[in-house]
Amino acid sequence: MKNLDKQNVQEYLQRYTVDKTEGAKITGQSQGGFDQSVKLGLIIPFFEIKHGQRATIRLYHIEDLKEYAKTKRQINKK
């Protein structure tokens, strides 16, 4: 991503990142399971921002989630 203009950033985020609802689907987890994986540091948000008392916004990179799902399945088979 050479050109960091607003439109390019938006297109990149729309194409390559998801929220926790979609992230849970990609990893094959429940929302609670996904949240726990984030708390344990097994899934790292690609982007995170917190504004005061409001909820923290997190975006997850799709490729990271696919890799985690593949690794998670291998661990669960053992």
pLDDT (tens digit, 9 = 90+) per residue, 20-47?
Answer: 999 999 999 999 999 999 999 999 999 9
48: pLDDT strictly greater than 90: yes
Separation of alpha carbons 23 and 14, rounded Å: 13
Q: How confident is the model at residue 72 (pLDDT cuts 50, 70, 90)?
A: confident
Q: Which amino acid is at 59?
A: L
The pLDDT assigned to 27 comes to 97
Domains and CATH numbers, the chain: 16-77 (1.10.1660.10)
**pLDDT classification of 55: cutoffs 50, 70, 90:** confident
**Residue 73: what pLDDT?**
63
Q: How far is CA 78 from CA 10, 51, 66, 74, 75, in A?
A: 40, 41, 19, 7, 6
Confidence of residue 77 (pLDDT cuts 50, 70, 90): low
